[in-house]
Copies of this chain bind each other. A is one copy, B any other.
Amino acid sequence: MNPLLEADGAALPARVKIVEVGPRDGLQAEAAHVPTPVKIELVDRLAAAGFANIEAASFVSPKWVPQMADGADVMASVTRRDGMIYSALTPNMRGLEAAQAARVDEVVIFGAASESFSQRNINCSIAESIERFRPVAAAAKAAGLRLRGSVSCAFGCPFEGEVPVQAVQDVVRRMLDLGCDEVDVADTIGVGTARQVAGVFDALATVTPLSRLSGHFHDTYGQALANILAALQSGVSIFHASVAGLGGCPYAPGATGNVATEDVLYLMEGLGIVTGIDLDAVIDTGDFISRAIGRPNGSRVGRARLARRASGGARS
């Protein structure tokens, strides 16, 4: 019997959490400035669609990421809902203070599983990055904020190629030791494949319950949904996704390519896995943001469903 059909040990999670990262990780990659009201409407539409966790802002220096300079304005205007977690990147104490002032629910610290990527991306070693984040993490926990750690290059590094599983285990452990409630295991360059994903998550299950880890997959090599299926088979139940595939234009060669939320939701619906999210509302939201920023819709489900609606056809 195909293990996907087994009801016992190999069964998939009954419910997953989808963390919508489009408003931050997605829009951050856009060259042209996205107006603040558009960002606010994007977040509000996503919240209305049923997401319980939205990565909405980044309190980094506007010199580094000008697109994210209006994070406080976005957070000041989005509709608050009971139980909703708005997340924001906080690279340092100044960022944390801004996030607190903006009443963010969860702050995100970040590191890499590859030394070369850590050096090039945040200009310090992995060990140094952990030490830099230690006071941020402590202050966030003291303030009662939820804390998330993000581990990039967990499935491959643009400079080092393969990344040893032990390196991923090590940085995940350090993030948990800092007090992270949840740690993202990210395929930053989208090179991972299914069996590798299974191996990494099975190895991480010896470090922590998988309920504290999320899978963050990019579709650069078209592997994201197969990798999510593989991660589900390990027991992972939190996944990141970006509405309309925001974050690297899917039509540009070599684009980064966050996996599109609509495509992930379609997969989950087919698997009978509960997400609590209204796919049609997300498709509408993907259409809204793609038009608002003049970008092709990067979701295949979005494109297919919107075309079907436009034609009035019966194709499902």
Residues on A close to B: CB < 8 A? 1-5, 10, 156, 158-159, 161, 189-196, 198-199, 201-202, 219-223, 225-226, 228-230, 233-234, 251, 253-255, 257, 260, 263, 266-267, 269-272, 296-297, 299-301, 303-304, 306-308, 310-311, 313-316
Contact = CB atoms under 8 A, between A and B. Distances in A.
13 contacts: A4-B195, A5-B195, A5-B199, A10-B10, A158-B315, A194-B271, A225-B225, A225-B226, A226-B228, A251-B296, A253-B303, A253-B304, A254-B304
Contact of A196 (B1, B201, B270): B270
B251 A2 contact: no
Contacts of A220: 300, 304
Contacts of A234: 2
B2 A316 contact: no
Contacts of A229: 194, 226, 229-230
Nearest to A1: B202
B254 A159 contact: no
A47 B225 CA distance: 30
Contacts of A190: 304
A295 to B, nearest CB: 12
Copies per assembly: 2
A223 B1 contact: no
A220 B254 CA distance: 20
A189 B253 contact: no
Nearest to A228: B226
Contacts of A254: 303-304, 306-308, 311, 315
A307 B255 CA distance: 9
A193 B300 contact: no
A161 B199 contact: no
A253 B304 CA distance: 6
A222 B266 contact: yes
Given A226-B228, A229-B229, 15 more contacts: A2-B198, A2-B201, A4-B195, A159-B314, A191-B316, A194-B270, A194-B271, A221-B300, A221-B301, A222-B300, A223-B266, A226-B226, A253-B303, A253-B304, A253-B310
A124 to B, nearest CB: 20
Residue of A193, A269, A272, A313 ringed by the most chain B CB atoms within 10 A: A193
Contact of A198 (B4, B189, B263): B4
Contacts of A303: 253-255
Contact of A271 (B3, B195, B219): B195
